[in-house]
């Protein structure tokens, strides 16, 4: 089974974290002692005893989470061994990218601790207390959140509000000047957001207000020896794996003012995994798909459009180069007005403009995945045609291409 190590960001801290781990495993205690020494002492007491208000300060939170993350990683690798020693990817949310670098051997622990202490301090100093804010928007598509931020910024001249974390398809965090964030919250609710939660943070992270941090952090990172990671690290800024040591510092600097593309990062790792169970795909390449056979995001998308768990597959052979295919989604029917009925009679390929907006959006959502590309301009091919005078139920197949290092799954 493919393994990726993923490390948390700010907000996961708690007084007492790492204490039980340090008492149970000498490896964890050694990591925490090394981290404590890198900061000149005081970290262990803050971790184990608090106070919580001091632990929540960004300059303390960031190195604290790094220390506990690496302690847990060292214990897991020693105790489990095997495939955990050679993961397919490392990744981390915001400051978690530093944890990924340390875990992969690209950055020394003590240097990373000092860099995060400086990073946190610079972030706190970049915007005066009370001027910045962040909020989590729930139940609204990321594109709608970005549009709401743009509208709010236009109504707040000279102020900034931008998407900061794309945490899930249903949750996007925004950051910027407090009045602009408040206005963006109102705009998001007008667009149908289910909830909007202000976040208790000390600064508006991952937005252009953090630009003063970059030159100061660049001086700190320039003094750190960077090595090639033992496995690709999926960068927050690009959502793409990187193994080039020369790019690491620039990616970390860009991360300060750019949004965390976490959804794309997770999808990128999932879609790069191999098919885990080959027994159903031998010989003639036929079998039934199970959840364990496919990347998690693919399984979710198949279930979302109603493809049965035991739908027969054709042509999926692990270890072979992927070929162009077509994902047929049986049972996905659309009743309603088809705007260009005349194009459906001749048997030509159905284009996006032929469809009602909700159907077009659903199709684009399925295809909006890293590593997938539509074959040419073709979006949908009708399996059953509509007549000129009235719209009949239509079943659609989604054509796609998959890079050769990933997987191939035509569903029939």
Per-residue pLDDT tens for 106-120? 999 999 999 999 999
Q: How far from 200 is each of 24, 64, 122, 175, CA to CA, in Å?
A: 33, 18, 18, 12
**412 part of a folded domain:** no
- The per-residue pLDDT for range 17-66, each reduced to its tens digit, is 999 999 999 999 999 999 999 999 999 999 999 999 999 999 999 999 99
pLDDT of 257 higher than 50: yes
Note whether 88 and 225 are same-domain residues: yes
For the chain, how big is the Rg over CA atoms in Å? 24
Last residue of a domain, one of 201, 233, 259: 201
Residues 117 and 136 in one domain: no
Final residue before a domain boundary, out of 166, 184, 201? 201
pLDDT at 364: 53
Note whether 42 and 74 are within 8 A (CB): no
Same-domain status, 218 and 185: no
Nearest Cα residue to 329 out of 366, 356, 358? 366
pLDDT tier at 188 (50, 70, 90 boundaries)? very high
260 and 222 together in one domain: yes
Tokens encoding 266 = 């997770």
pLDDT confidence bin for 236, thresholds 50/70/90: very high
Between CA 125 and CA 57 the distance in angstroms is 12
Quote the domain boundaries for residue 337.
279-400
Residue 95 within any structural domain of the chain: yes
d(CA 161, CA 177): 6
Q: Are residues 117 and 237 in the same domain?
A: yes
Catalytic residues: 94, 206
Question: pLDDT tens digits for 264-312?
Answer: 998 888 776 533 322 222 222 233 344 444 445 555 555 554 544 444 3
- Structure confidence by residue, pLDDT tens digits, 348-365: 344 445 444 554 555 555
pLDDT tens-digit series, residues 89-104: 999 999 999 999 999 9
Domain boundary among 151, 166, 201: 201
pLDDT at 405 over 80: no
Q: Please indicate, yes or no, whether residues 302 and 364 belong to a single structural domain of this protein.
A: yes
Cβ contacts of 342-347, under 8 Å, gap ≥ 24? 342/388, 344/382, 344/385, 344/386, 345/385, 345/387, 345/388, 347/385
Does residue 394 lie within any of the structural domains?
A: yes
Residue 136 lies in a domain: yes
* Judgement on whether residues 219 and 116 belong to the same structural domain of the protein: yes
Structural domain includes residue 411? no
286 pairs with which residues across the strands?
A: 314
In a domain, 406, yes or no: no
The per-residue pLDDT for range 123-176, each reduced to its tens digit, is: 999 999 889 999 999 999 999 999 999 999 999 999 999 999 999 988 999 999
Please give the pLDDT value at position 64.
97
Same domain, 215 and 95: yes
Phi then psi for 21, rounded to 5 degrees? -65, -40
Number of structural domains the chain divides into: 3
The answer to whether residues 150 and 172 belong to one domain is yes
Predicted confidence at residue 84, as pLDDT, reads 73
Average pLDDT over the chain reads: 75
User: Same structural domain for residues 182 and 221?
Assistant: no
Instruction: Residue 269: name the closest of 297, 290, 228 by CA.
Output: 297
285 in the same domain as 336? yes
Of residues 343 and 121, the one with the higher pLDDT is: 121
405 is a domain residue: no
pLDDT number for residue 386 = 35
Angstrom distance (rounded) from CA 149 to CA 145: 6
State pTM to two decimals.
0.69
Same domain? 116 vs 216:
yes
Give which of 396, 349, 395 is closest to 375, Cα–Cα: 349
At 202 the pLDDT is: 82
């Amino acid at each position: 089974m493919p393994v990726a190590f993923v490390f948390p960001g700010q907000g996961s801290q708690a007084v007492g974290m790492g204490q039980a781990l340090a008492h149970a495993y000498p490896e964890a205690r050694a990591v925490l002692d090394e981290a404590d020494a890198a900061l000149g002492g005081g970290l262990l007491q803050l971790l184990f005893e608090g106070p919580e208000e001091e632990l929540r300060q960004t300059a303390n939170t960031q190195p604290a989470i790094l220390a506990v993350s690496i302690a847990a990683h060292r214990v897991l690798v020693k105790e489990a061994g095997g495939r955990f020693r050679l993961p397919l990817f490392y990744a981390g949310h915001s400051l978690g990218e530093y944890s990924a670098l340390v875990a992969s051997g690209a950055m020394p622990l003590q240097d990373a601790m000092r860099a995060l202490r400086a990073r946190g301090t610079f972030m706190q100093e970049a915007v005066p207390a009370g001027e910045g804010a962040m909020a989590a928007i729930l139940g609204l598509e990321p594109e709608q959140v970005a549009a709401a931020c743009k509208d709010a910024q236009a109504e707040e001249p000279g102020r900034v509000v931008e998407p900061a974390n794309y945490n899930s398809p249903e949750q996007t965090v925004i950051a910027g000047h407090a009045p602009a964030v408040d206005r963006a919250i109102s705009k998001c609710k007008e667009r149908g957001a289910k909830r909007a939660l202000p976040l208790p943070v000390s600064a508006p992270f991952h937005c252009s207000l953090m630009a003063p941090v970059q030159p100061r952090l660049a001086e700190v990172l320039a003094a750190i020896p960077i090595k090639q990671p033992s496995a690709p690290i999926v960068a927050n800024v690009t959502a793409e794996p990187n193994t080039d040591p020369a790019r690491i510092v620039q990616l970390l600097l860009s991360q300060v003012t750019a949004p965390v593309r976490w959804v794309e990062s997770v999808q990128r790792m999932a879609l790069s995994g191999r098919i885990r169970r080959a027994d159903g795909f031998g010989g003639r390449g036929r079998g039934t798909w199970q959840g364990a056979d496919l990347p998690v995001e693919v399984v979710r998308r198949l279930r979302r459009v109603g493809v049965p768990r035991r739908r027969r597959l054709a042509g999926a052979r692990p270890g072979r180069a992927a070929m162009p295919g077509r994902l047929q989604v049986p049972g996905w029917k659309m009743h309603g007005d088809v705007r260009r009925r005349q194009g459906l009679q001749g048997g030509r390929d159905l284009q996006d403009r032929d469809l009602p907006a909700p159907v077009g959006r659903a199709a684009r959502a399925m295809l909006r995945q890293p590593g997938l590309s539509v074959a040419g301009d073709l979006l949908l091919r009708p399996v059953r045609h509509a007549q000129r005078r009235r719209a009949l139920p239509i079943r659609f197949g989604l054509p796609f291409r998959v890079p050769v290092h990933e997987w191939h799954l035509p569903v029939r």
